[in-house]
């Protein structure tokens, strides 16, 4: 290491320089020790930071994947487990970030962390809202929120974490370069000082050499630690030298590219990394000879296809950063690729599910209405005419009731395939819900549309559905309407087509009906549909009111009457009072009677519950012997609704209503149509103490045999027989027969529509038990405070089905 002359010079000057050499040596060694300690501390700190950042990214990514899995799973127990892991991911993320923020951070690191926190504050509420919707059973809406809001917000969080991770790599590389340079400087200084003395210099040189060797070994260990960290990261990491030649790849990068590090080391980056444009599949010329390494992978859109040496392709997102030395000179670059193949597949699946019907594979109602809006807009702008077919199966319920829902689902799938073959390639076929389909005919005059509709009808008529040993014929009723500039909105197009379909069914089914604005049947249908809107608005505005009419016993004075029927009235926009006969048929046809029944129960019980309880207790205390009853009408839809019974029981408990004063009226038709459910419904409430009246008896099936199976307390004779009984011997005989049979069965009878004193006397002669009508008492307002259909904080049982 040293020549002879130098050694002599060192020996000659050793005595003079010994003190100086000893002092300089001590200072040099102390500097080296400090450099070593600082480097170890800096490197360790960067390793810890990198590990924490990697764990934050893993926790955030697992939350997104768990949220996607929650949306796709149908198993409630699995969804609950995923929801718990979803919440645990947030705790892990916050723990890692807390540990990171407690470390010493540079200004750049703090700035990126602050941006990450801001992005997280945006993404987390969206994720939690989507998770709550999934747990509430609204997976379809949650999927749309995930695609539209959650994924983009979470990607911005990942971008900030990637920047922070890249900054750690850069800081580690810079610290390593600086440490190596410091060690080299110290080494040369000690060698120069050792040349001043032979023996002392040699000893000092040996000592310094050993010290530097230990330092290099420590540096090597730190480098190995850094490589282990890179091996544990879930993203692909690659480094290059200043010329763009590959220097290092972690195992994930090796798997994605199909290259091993020892094979690719020293090769130009563009020989190893094959990137394609996802849309055009053309290679991306991201790195050319002489291009700046730190800007080579910036400026092209992501995600991108990475095609490996083995031929497999991955959808990746990338980021890159330069590696700088102490002087700020670029000495290489670090490239990071994140495999988003699975995430993109899940996103595509969610997007498909959001716009398609899972059973038939056709587009769903939401997507159908979106495309219809586009056609309506083109009709307005370009004077084009399109058409809409509203297709409703005629015998679907027969298949469902006979063979079950599995057979019904298979029938829908087969018909979807059949219809798809009968429409044009440019036409849009969708399942609108249940057994209803829709077809959008683009640029199709009404005459041509009618031929297509007839083709669909004939194909359905000729179709035979085979299930096990049964064969079914299935017809369709089709409503046809033009889509032109005269329609105000997509809703008006659907209303017109639905009305035409309804007319087709009314005329005998298995036919096509073309919508005409002056069609009387369609005008009636439109009127009913308008009533739906008016009823809903009246409920919202408190314009549905309650009346009561006395039901008087024939064997006592009218003043003792404590039996009332609760009646419904609607106050229209002009203040006129509308009776139920005007709007109840529309409410029944469009399935909103259960909503009205719920409103009546909640409004009546909340206003009168405590009053009724007080009156009941008072009467019981003084031993009153005449009845206190309030009769409330219930629709057939409510009786068939499995959740309505639970709702009714809950309202009785909530408002402390004595069940003994409640009498529920159901019509003969509703009871017989849903006989099994009606009996269960009635028996359950009778066990509480409630009573039942069979309303309008004689107007429906009129079979006395049914009365033996219905646990009713009162039989209300239909008013149509009462009004003419004094002049029509048949009506009189029917009233007498109904009254006698009811008494034999242990029921009490109520005559409706009692309008004259002569009828009152005749009914007393026949021994009818109760009278109701203008002759014994007119309806009067039942003053209550109107309440909302669904009060704040209290959702009606079975609200989603109403």
Instruction: Report in angstroms the alpha-carbon separations of 651 from 597, 644, 658, 678.
Output: 12, 10, 11, 20
Candidate list 392, 435, 696, 731, residue with the active-site label: 435
Question: φ, ψ for residue 354 (rounded to 5)?
Answer: -70, -20
Helix/strand/coil for 790: coil
Q: Are 164 and 109 in contact (CB under 8 A)?
A: yes
| Measured distance CA(513)–CA(499) in Å, rounded | 9
Residue 184 annotated to the active site: no
> 4: buried, middle or exposed (CB in 10 Å: 19+, 13-18, 0-12)?
exposed
Token reading at 575:
């203040």
SS3 content of the chain, % helix, strand, coil (to 5): 60, 15, 25
| Measured distance CA(160)–CA(589) in Å, rounded | 56
Token reading at 599:
């409103």
Here the contacts of 615-620 (C-beta below 8 Å, separation 24 or greater) are: 616/658, 616/660, 616/661
Question: φ, ψ for residue 731 (rounded to 5)?
Answer: -60, -40
Instruction: Report in angstroms the alpha-carbon separations of 572 from 117, 526, 541, 542.
Output: 54, 18, 11, 11
Token reading at 798:
């079975």
CA angle 755, 759, 760 (to 5 degrees): 90
Other Cβ atoms within 10 Å of 784 Cβ, number: 15
Residue of 771, 756, 679 whose CA lies nearest to 716:
771
Location of structure tokens 């800081």: 171
Residue of 269, 280, 205, 786 whose CA lies nearest to 545:
786
Residue of 752, 665, 753, 647 whose CA lies nearest to 712:
665
Residue of 307, 316, 242 whose CA lies nearest to 281:
307
Beta strands in 283-341 (DSSP E): 304-307, 313-324, 330-339
| Measured distance CA(744)–CA(766) in Å, rounded | 14
Among all residues, which ones are annotated catalytic?
Answer: 435
């Amino acid at each position: 290491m040293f020549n002879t002359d130098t050694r002599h010079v060192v020996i000659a000057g050793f005595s003079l320089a010994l003190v100086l050499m000893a002092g300089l040596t001590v200072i040099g060694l102390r500097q080296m020790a400090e450099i070593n300690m600082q480097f170890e501390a800096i490197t360790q700190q960067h390793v810890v930071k990198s590990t924490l950042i990697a764990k934050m990214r893993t926790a955030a990514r697992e939350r997104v994947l768990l949220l996607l899995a929650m949306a796709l799973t149908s198993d409630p127990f699995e969804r609950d487990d995923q929801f718990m892991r979803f919440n645990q991911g947030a705790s892990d993320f916050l723990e890692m970030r807390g540990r990171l923020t407690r470390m010493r951070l540079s200004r750049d690191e703090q700035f990126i962390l602050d941006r990450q926190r801001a992005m997280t504050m945006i993404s987390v509420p969206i994720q939690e809202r989507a998770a709550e919707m999934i747990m509430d059973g609204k997976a379809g809406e949650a999927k749309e929120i995930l695609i539209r809001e959650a994924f983009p917000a979470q990607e911005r969080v990942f971008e900030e974490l990637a920047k922070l991770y890249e900054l750690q790599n850069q800081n580690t590389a810079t610290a390593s370069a600086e440490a190596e340079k410091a060690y080299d400087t110290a080494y040369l200084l000690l060698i120069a000082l050792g040349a001043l003395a032979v023996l002392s210099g040699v000893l000092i040189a040996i000592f310094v050499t050993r010290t530097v060797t230990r330092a290099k070994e420590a540096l090597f260990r730190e480098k190995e630690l850094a490589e282990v960290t890179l091996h544990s990261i879930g993203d692909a990491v690659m480094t290059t030298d200043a010329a763009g030649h590959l220097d290092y790849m972690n195992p994930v990068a090796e798997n994605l590219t199909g290259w091993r590090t020892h094979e690719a080391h020293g090769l130009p980056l563009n020989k190893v990394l094959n990137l394609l444009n996802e849309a055009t599949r053309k290679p991306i010329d991201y790195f050319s000879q002489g291009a700046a390494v730190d800007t080579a992978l910036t400026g092209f859109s992501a995600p991108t296809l990475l095609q490996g040496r083995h031929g497999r392709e991955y959808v990746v997102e990338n980021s890159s950063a330069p590696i700088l030395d102490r002087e700020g000179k670029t000495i290489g670059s670090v490239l990071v690729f994140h495999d988003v193949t699975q995430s993109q597949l899940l996103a595509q699946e969610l997007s498909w599910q959001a716009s398609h019907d899972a059973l038939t594979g056709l587009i769903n109602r939401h997507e159908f209405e979106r495309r219809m809006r586009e056609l309506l807009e083109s009709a307005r702008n370009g004077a084009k005419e399109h058409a809409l077919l509203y297709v409703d199966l005629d015998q679907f319920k027969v298949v469902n009731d006979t063979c079950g829902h599995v057979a019904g689902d298979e029938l829908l799938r087969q018909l979807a395939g059949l219809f798809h073959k009968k429409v044009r390639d440019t036409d849009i076929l969708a399942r609108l819900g249940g057994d209803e389909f829709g077809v959008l005919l683009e640029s199709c005059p009404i005459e041509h549309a009618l031929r297509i509709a007839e083709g669909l009808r004939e194909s359905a008529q000729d179709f035979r559905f085979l299930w096990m040993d049964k064969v079914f014929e299935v017809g369709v009723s089709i409503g046809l309407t033009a889509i032109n500039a005269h329609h105000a909105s997509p809703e008006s197009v659907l209303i017109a087509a639905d009305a035409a379909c309804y007319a087709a069914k009314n005329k005998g089914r298995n036919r096509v009906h073309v919508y005409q604005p002056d069609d009387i049947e369609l005008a009636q249908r439109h009127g009913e549909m308008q009533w739906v809107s008016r009823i809903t608005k009246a409920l919202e505005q408190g314009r549905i009111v309650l009346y009561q009419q006395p039901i008087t016993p024939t064997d006592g004075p009218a003043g003792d009457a404590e039996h009332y029927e609760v009646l419904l009235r609607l106050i229209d926009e002009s203040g006129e009072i509308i009776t139920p006969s005007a709007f109840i048929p529309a409410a029944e046809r469009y399935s909103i009677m259960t909503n009205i029944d719920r409103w009546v129960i909640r409004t009546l019980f909340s206003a009168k519950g405590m009053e009724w309880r007080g009156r009941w207790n008072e009467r019981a205390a003084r031993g009153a012997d005449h009845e206190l009853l309030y009769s409330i009408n219930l629709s057939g839809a409510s009786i068939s609704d499995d959740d309505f019974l639970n709702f009714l029981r809950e309202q009785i408990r909530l408002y402390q209503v004595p069940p003994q004063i409640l009498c529920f009226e159901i019509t003969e038709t509703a009871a017989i149509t849903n006989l099994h459910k009606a009996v269960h419904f009635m028996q359950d409430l009778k066990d509480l103490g409630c009573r039942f009246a069979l309303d309008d008896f004689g107007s429906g099936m009129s079979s006395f045999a049914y009365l033996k199976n219905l646990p009713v307390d009162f039989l209300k004779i239909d008013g149509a027989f009462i009004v003419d009984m004094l002049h029509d011997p048949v009506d009189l005989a029917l009233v007498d027969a109904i009254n006698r049979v009811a008494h034999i069965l242990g029921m009490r009878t109520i005559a409706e529509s009692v309008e004259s004193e002569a009828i009152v006397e005749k009914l007393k002669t026949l021994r009818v038990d109760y009278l109701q009508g203008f002759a014994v008492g007119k309806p009067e307002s039942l003053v209550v405070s109107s309440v909302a259909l669904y009060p704040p904080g209290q959702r009606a049982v079975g609200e989603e089905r109403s």
